[in-house]
Amino acid sequence: MLSADDTTAFFDARFAGAPLMAILRGMGRERSLAVAATAWDLGIDAVEVPLQTPADEEALRAVCAAAAERGLRVCAGTIVDPAQVPVARAAGAAYLVSPGLDPAVVAAARAHGIPILPGVATPSEVQLAVSLGLRWLKAFPASWLGPAWFRVIRGPFPDVRFVATGGLDAGNAAEFLDAGVRVAAVGSALEDPAQLPRLATLLTRPS
């Protein structure tokens, strides 16, 4: 059983190195491996492979194996059912991300000893997450919430750390980081050569 404090410590360490995360949604095995390599070479250690189809599971296994060769660990995303937790762990995932906040999924992750980053979009969801002992949360969809949401939500919840996900790229990620987001998640931006230098600049931001 993984404790709430252990989960917080895990994410504190996991996201200490860089303010960006890569999401490889529905890319298939080979494309996922290529984009993951781009992210890692750029300096983005945190890579998520959403787990929604058998092809995603194959991609997750392949990316986890490639990450292990670099001494890195990979996340399984879109965990919406407790039954996905052991599947993700068996594929090699070291932590999980969910688009929403389901206490049953959180409990399943803890029972399997794997950290989870659930998604929130309202103060009520943040408050529920805090009551469950969670201090790292995914805010989704971030582009819909907007940077101002993060500035406001920090008032009642100053100890919560947010990973902003959904609609972010090199053009707007800095706005969210300036608003207090700890990590900005990007996806297709990693396949756009024009955005890579700008993403690299974001990686040099002081923490």
For 108, 116, 152, 202, the CA distances from 184, given in Å and listed in that order, are 26, 17, 18, 10
Task: Look up residue 157 and give its amino acid.
Answer: F
Of the residues 30, 48, 69, 175, only one is catalytic, namely: 48
> Using CA atoms, how far apart are residues 206 and 197, in angstroms rounded to an integer?
17
Residue 48 designated active-site? yes
Is residue 129 within 8 A of residue 101, CB to CB? The reply is yes
Is residue 84 within 8 A of residue 52, CB to CB? The reply is no
16 class by beta-carbon count within 10 Å (0-12 exposed, 13-18 middle, 19+ buried): exposed
Residue 138 designated active-site? yes
> Using CA atoms, how far apart are residues 157 and 197, in angstroms rounded to an integer?
34
Of the residues 58, 138, 175, 191, only one is catalytic, namely: 138
Helix (H) or strand (E) holding 175: helix 173-178
Positions marked catalytic = 48, 138
